[in-house]
Amino acid sequence: MIDALIDMIRRMSASRGVMVIALLGIASSIAVAVLPARPPSGVQMWTFARLHKQMYDPIIADWPAELRPEITLMSFPALERRMLQGFLARTPTAELIECERRSAARAFVGPLESVGFTDLTDRLRSEGLLDQINGPSFGPWSSRGRIFGLPHDVHPVMLGYRADLVEAAGIDVSTIETWDDFVRVMGPLMSERGPDGKPVRYLLNLWEDKEDLIEVLLLQAGGGYFDEQERVRIATPVNARVISTIVMWCRGPGRIAADAADFSASGNQLKAEGYVVAAFMPDWMCNVWKNEIPQLSGKMKLMPLPAWTRGGRRTSVWGGTMLGISRTAPDQERLWRIASKLYLSPELARSLYTTGDIITPVRTLWNDPIFDEPDPYFSGQRKGRDYIALAPDVPNRTSSPYNVMAKLRVQTAVIALSTHAMRIGATSVEQLEPRAMELLKVAENQVRAQIKRNVFLDSGGDATDGGGS
C-alpha cells in the first residue's frame, strides 16, 4: 500500500518538498494506527473556571493517587459543546464535570433517563447532605424532583455602595428597608448637577437591557420565569410590577438608574468616579471589584437588598456552578468519593472565600472564623458573615433548559415597555403595568410554544408546560 502511494506521488511529478511532506504524513498515519492508544491516567475532571482550578490544585496535591483527579481547564463554550456531544452520543466525557447553570440546564432537555449526569438524590438523602447543604443551592441542578449535581456556591446578592459618598452626605442606610426607602433616603445624592443639567451621579447601576439583573429583581420579588412545578409563569402581576418599576427607574421623570457596565474598563471608570452609588453585588462580584477597581478599597460597604415590600426578602441570587458525575462513567463510588471530598471539604470552603470571596453552600462549615474576618476593601465589614446570614433566604430556582430563552424574551419585553413609557410620557409604575402584562404574555407564549415541542417536558396540558429554571 505504501509503495502504491509513493508511486502515485511520483506520477504526479510532485516537488521534493511535497514528496517529503507526503512521506511524513504516511509515516505518522501508520504510527497512529499501529500504536496502542494511551488512555488518560486517573479520573478526568473538566472545569471552565481558571480561578477554580487554581484553588483545587493545591487542595488535591496530597490526595492518594486513586482519588486525585486530573483537572482540565476549558473555555466555557468548549466544555459545554464537548459535554453535550458526549451526553447525546453516549460517548465518553470526563468522569467529573464542573459546569455553570446555563450549561447544566441544557442537559435536562430529554427524559430523566437520558440526562447525562448521575442522579444523586438518593445518595444525598441517605448521607444526610440534604440537611447539611443550603437547600436553595440545589435548585439549578434539579430537574423533575431529582438532583444531578453538588452545588459549588450560594451567591446571595447584596448592594455594594459608595460608603464614602453616602456617609459624607449624612445618610444612614440602616433606615432603608424597601426600594421606596432606598429612593427616598438616597435621593439627596443626586442633587448635584452637571453643565448639561443632568445629575452627576445616579443611585443604582441598572439598565433595561441587563437580563441578569432583571432576573435578580424578579426572583427577589417572588416572580421569575417558572414556578415550583416547573411550569412557565412569566405573565404574572408581580413580574409586571417589577419590570414597570425597572423602566421607571431607568426612564421615568424620577430616574435613579444608569449603566456603568460590569466587566469593562469604561464601566469600571464610571464606578470609580462615583457615577453610580450602588450596584448589585453577589459574593463573587466582590472579588471582581477588588481586582478591577482596587482604587475603591476602603470606600465601599455592603447592605442587604431593599425589599419590595416591608418584611420581604432582602436578597436574591445571581449565577451558580455545580459538580456532576458522568452517568456512563465506571466506578461511581470512587467518583462520588472524589466529588464529595473536594466540594464538601473545609479546605475548599476557606479557599473559596479567601481567594474568590464566595461563601460555601455547606451549612456545617459556616461557623468557620474565616467568615468573620474584616474585609479592608469593604471598610472592615465582616461581609462573609453578612452573606451567610442571607444564604437561607436566596430564592429557589429550577433548571429549565429554556431559562435563557425566557430571560431574553423578558429582556425584549422590558425594552419594548421602555419605548412605550417614553412615547406616552409615563410618570408612574401603575401607568405601565397593563402594557407590561401584555408584553409578558407575548414572552410567555413564545417560551411555552417552544417547550411544547419537547415531548419529554410537555404532555399537552398546562400542568406540565415547563421544564424548570
Classified as helix, coil or strand, 266 is helix
Q: Number of folded domains in the chain?
A: 2
69, 45 in Cβ contact below 8 A? yes
Q: How many CB atoms lie within 10 A of CB 21?
A: 13
Residue 4 domain flag: no
Domain boundary among 364, 393, 422: 393
Instruction: Return d(Cα 217, Cα 237) in angstroms, integer.
Output: 14
Confidence category of residue 457, pLDDT binned at 50, 70, 90 = low
Asked whether residue 187 falls in the same domain as residue 71, the answer is no
> What is the model's pTM?
0.87
Supply the CATH number for residue 167's domain.
Answer: 3.40.190.10
Of 348, 377, 393, the position where a domain reaches its end is: 393
Q: Are 349 and 360 in contact (CB under 8 A)?
A: yes
* Domain membership of residue 94 as a residue range: 44-151+318-393
Say if residue 338 is exposed, middle or buried (CB neighbours under 10 Å; 0-12, 13-18, 19+): buried
97-106 average pLDDT score:
93
What's the rounded Cα separation, in Å, for the pair 324 and 116?
A: 9
Residue 14 lies in a domain: no
Please enumerate in sequence order all residues whose Cβ is within 8 A of that of 278, keeping only pairs 6 or more positions apart, or say none.
159, 160, 161, 162, 182, 186, 203, 204, 205
Give me 62's grid cell: 496530597
Last residue of a domain, one of 355, 374, 393: 393
Sign of CA dihedral 13, 17, 18, 19: positive
**pLDDT of 404:** 93
The answer to whether residue 6 sits within a structural domain is no
What values do phi and psi take at 77, rounded to 5? Answer: -65, -40
355 versus 18: which is more confidently predicted? 355
Residues 138 and 95 both lie in one domain? yes
The proportion of the chain whose per-residue pLDDT surpasses 90, expressed as a percent, equals 81
Q: What is the pLDDT of residue 22?
A: 38
Number of H helices, E strands in the chain: 18, 12
User: Are both 266 and 191 inside the same structural domain?
Assistant: yes
Is residue 34 domain-resident?
Answer: no
Tell me what the mean pLDDT of segment 46-51 comes to: 95
E strands, 241-339, where?
Answer: 257-258, 276-282, 300-304, 321-325
